[in-house]
Structure 1
């Protein structure tokens, strides 16, 4: 077993990629941008190189001319840096649950030639950390023929699955710069109201799943009076830190990894990364674990809080497209929505403003033409807007429509009622 890393320069590191290869890019805050940029610099020497990723941060030069002549993107989630390219037919999207992406590698459906990752320097035993993005990077490393790593002393060393021995790394390059950070914008008055409504649904002792953004932060802001909350989530950000400091989040009643925060990746500030660095209270697990229905539902009162782009009057949720425009991805929404419904005392919740920034209703008579159904109407229970909360579970189509209209923006309710009467011949 090799006990040391083989360091080379960037040019030599990316020379392991050949035409016709398939490459995996680690993503989010851990995106190995230096390796990616060096690969793009070789575009004239390459053809038909497939790229598989979830969401990467930083520039995506492989989507831009002339680099895109050499690279074909197959993304399992569409982030801001590739969104325009994917919708301009310069890349493609694979609809898939986050919990199942690992199967593409393990079953040989998308065999990987090379994995580009970013890791911490090795400890005295020769183990590096994948930092704050373990998700599907962990199985990618296991099944890629070659692993190329940029080794960065500013990568937090995290506990859990994201440990890789130097013997698993074929080539390494030295990098020293902060990993990507993100600051959630301050929440608006509307988002604060939504946060209040959702927080009122959360019971003491619940296990939470929520993402990053204004509404999750508004919800967390309204949980200061709660007790004994736990975290088993796909990802988290800075919003949980005050609740940890105040003892609100302690994982006391979790059945799976009691007392531990379980996640697959994190994105936030340097303060967040300082908190998770060498912290045994936070376990970064691969997505096949964090997003496994059977494991999630073992916890009590799983409360999954997710967003939507639009919801129709029957409860169908579109959360990843705007009409035919691919905006994001399926991700782990269904993984947690279903698990929350199956958990003892669990609550699957959709939280969103009643209108878009343009003033259009997000509760609609029908989804936009071409829109994808991210979560079926049979899976939807609670829906919250700034005008209140309704529970669709067990309600008929007509009852659902009436309930959703009651939390739509007042300026759209009359039109939605007309649509309801016409649809259901009332």
Structure 2
């Protein structure tokens, strides 16, 4: 086909039954191409779709298309969660750092990559923009690449360049990228953010995700100095701290004075900030999430979340019992990388209770719950009630420490369970 501009329908006509198709990640999700592909559902059969988190609608997981498409998700987002839980789609447990190897090593050989890029520059290079992650590996390994080309996709620095000669079909679009609004922070989230900020040292290198707790933490770092960023993803709160002079990266050992990330999700302000900005480098996830690279920086402070934690320190972050909720992602990559960094602090942060008022610090994980961070890897746990460090504590000491930051209504239950399991040693001040 060459790389002349085609309609979306013409471009996706190269997809065949039985193909494996990769979808570009998060804010780079190629919605026009997805719509056109799903429009061919009547003639396609057994097309396997692989992706990380995607934004927007995911019509390919609807039950009526189950003979045409089957999703194999490396990370389960809100738009495909119901389909995974009801059996119309599949989830894979995998570290984000390992996803590119699925394509490089042909464990999951790709027929097609559907991506979303900036227009080519005068040298013919398009940018993968806000998503390099495993998408770079996908475009280098897919037999054919179909790209929607969008002037609203920022051209980012780093390794996300793709020459137009590598693109088999191009579709012109002019669509705003999906934006994620800022969370209105609750008092609980603000308290958690302040607790985390209290143990972030000047000169630390941060990893954080998107959501209320990362936002609350960044909002509480206004008086810090020389913070660096090496993270799988970031959002608008990082821009605030760059503009305030808090984030400088001067103390980093690698990519000094550079913000390193793998993908971005946020507002148009964020996308405009990273456009042609040499301060930000977008790099693949097998590098960004590589433990040996993470640990090179000083005081790596990794901030991650959990669904529930048991009294021994096992962290469930990807499921609610047997029901798959999200994914392994980069949590273990950064928890271990931070632990090995000089002065590093691996942090798991969560509210003490669910929205239904159930404790998230529990004597035992729910049956079927996935352990993302093992009790041997866990260090700092933070709730609105404080901070504990489980590293170096035995199981009885861990139960007592976790009870101290659980919701008061559940502390005695945790202490009682610990006494029953570990013996009559004193707990909770008894």
State the TM bucket, normalised to the shorter chain: over 0.9
The number of residues matched between the two structures is 424
Greater CA drift, 63-72 or 127-136: 63-72
Aligned counterpart for 2:207 among listed residues 193, 206, 209: 209
| Partner of residue 63 from structure 2, selected from 59, 62, 65 | 65
Say whether the 8 Å CA contact 2:236–2:267 is kept in structure 1: yes
**Structure 1, residues 147-204: CA drift from partner, whole Å, max 9, x if none?**
0000011100000011000011000111111011101211110111111110000000
1:316 aligns with 2:330: no
**Map of 2:148 onto structure 1:** 150
Give the match for residue 382 of structure 1. Answer: 380
Matched, 1:261 2:283: no
TM-score, normalization by structure 1: 0.98
In structure 1, which of residues 100, 106, 115 is the aligned counterpart of residue 98 of structure 2? 100
Aligned position for 1:369: 367
Which sections of structure 1, spanning at least 5 residues, go unmatched?
A: none
Q: After TM superposition, list the pairs within 5 Å mapping 1:33-48 onto structure 2.
A: 33-48=31-46
Q: Deviations over 1:242-290 (max 9, x none)?
A: 2111110000010110000000001000001110000000000010111
Unaligned stretches of 5+ residues in structure 2: 425-430
The yes-or-no answer on 1:126 pairing with 2:98 is: no
Equivalent residue number for residue 304 of structure 1: 302
Q: Following TM superposition, by how much is the alpha carbon of 1:425 offset from its aligned partner in structure 2, in angstroms?
A: 2.5
Coordinate RMSD, CA, aligned: 1.0
Partners of 1:235 and 1:317 lie apart in 2 by 21
What are the equivalent positions in structure 2 for 1:140-219 lying under 5 Å apart?
140-219=138-217
- Residue 23 of structure 1 is matched in structure 2 by 21
Question: What's the counterpart of residue 401 of structure 1?
Answer: 399
2:351 maps to 1:347 = no
- Give TM-score scaled by structure 2 length: 0.98
Q: 1:336 pairs with 334, 337, 344, which one?
A: 334
How far off its partner does 1:12 sit?
1.1
Cα distance in 2 for residues equivalent to 1:410 and 1:226:
32
The one of 328, 336, 355 aligned to 1:357: 355
Q: Which aligned pairs between 1:107-118 and structure 2 lie closer than 5 A?
A: 107-118=105-116
Counterpart-to-counterpart distance in 2, 1:117 and 1:189: 40
Kindly indicate whether the alpha-carbon contact (under 8 Å) linking 2:349 and 2:383 is maintained by their aligned counterparts in 1.
yes
| 1:66 match: secondary structure | helix
2:32 and 2:67 map into 1 onto residues whose CA distance is 20
- Confirm or deny: 8 A CA contact 2:63 2:88 kept in the other structure: no
Say if 1:184 and 1:212, in contact at 8 Å, map to a contact too.
no
